[in-house]
Every structure is written in C-alpha cells, then in structure tokens.
C-alpha cells in the first residue's frame, strides 16, 4: 500500500484529475527520455502524485481550498519541484 502525504480537499475540483494526468505523463516522459531502458513508470507516477499534491498544498496556502481550481494547481507545480530540489533547478 502506498500513501501520499501531500494534497488536500481543494484537489477535488473540476479539471484536477486532468492536471494530474498531465503531470504523470510529463514525469513518465522525462524518466523515459533520461533513463531509457532503466525507466520506472511506477516510480515516475509516484513522484508525480507527490509533486501534484504538493502543488495543491501550495495553492491552498495561497488561495484557500474552497476556491482552488485546476489552473491554480498547475501554476504551483514549479514551486513544488523547486522546494524539493532548489539547487538542481538552476543552470
């Protein structure tokens, strides 16, 4: 059993599932492109779920859960990634 510690009730909004699907697809694509035959779609999916939930947590802190929409999640993805690896996201 896997339990994701990120996310909140604000993620239960129209389009949030589509946003999550896009995050998952992007993570799998990046993993496949960089790791080739060693790519792990499950690990990429788990990472995407964590980052998507974290983006939702950042959006909720800024905007509140009741008024959060899918685009708010998308707008906080880069903040979520940078919070996990601030040095790795710089040239």
Inter-residue contact 89 to 81 (CB < 8 Å): yes
- In this predicted structure, the answer to whether residue 36 has a pLDDT above a threshold of 90 is yes
- In this predicted structure, the answer to whether residue 58 has a pLDDT above a threshold of 90 is yes
pLDDT interval class at 22 (50, 70, 90): very high
- What does each C-alpha distance from 10 to 30, 34, 42, 46 come to in angstroms? 27, 33, 25, 20
Q: Please tell me the predicted confidence (pLDDT) of residue 90.
A: 73
pLDDT interval class at 30 (50, 70, 90): very high
Q: Please tell me the predicted confidence (pLDDT) of residue 9.
A: 97
């Amino acid at each position: 059993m896997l339990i994701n510690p990120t996310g909140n009730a604000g993620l239960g909004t129209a389009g949030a599932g589509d946003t999550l699907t896009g995050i998952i697809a992007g993570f799998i694509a990046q993993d496949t492109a960089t790791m080739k035959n060693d790519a792990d779609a499950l690990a990429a999916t788990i990472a995407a779920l964590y980052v998507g939930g974290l983006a939702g947590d950042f959006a909720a802190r800024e905007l509140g859960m009741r008024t959060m929409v899918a685009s708010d999640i998308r707008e906080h993805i880069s903040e979520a990634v940078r919070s996990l690896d601030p040095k790795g996201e710089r040239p």
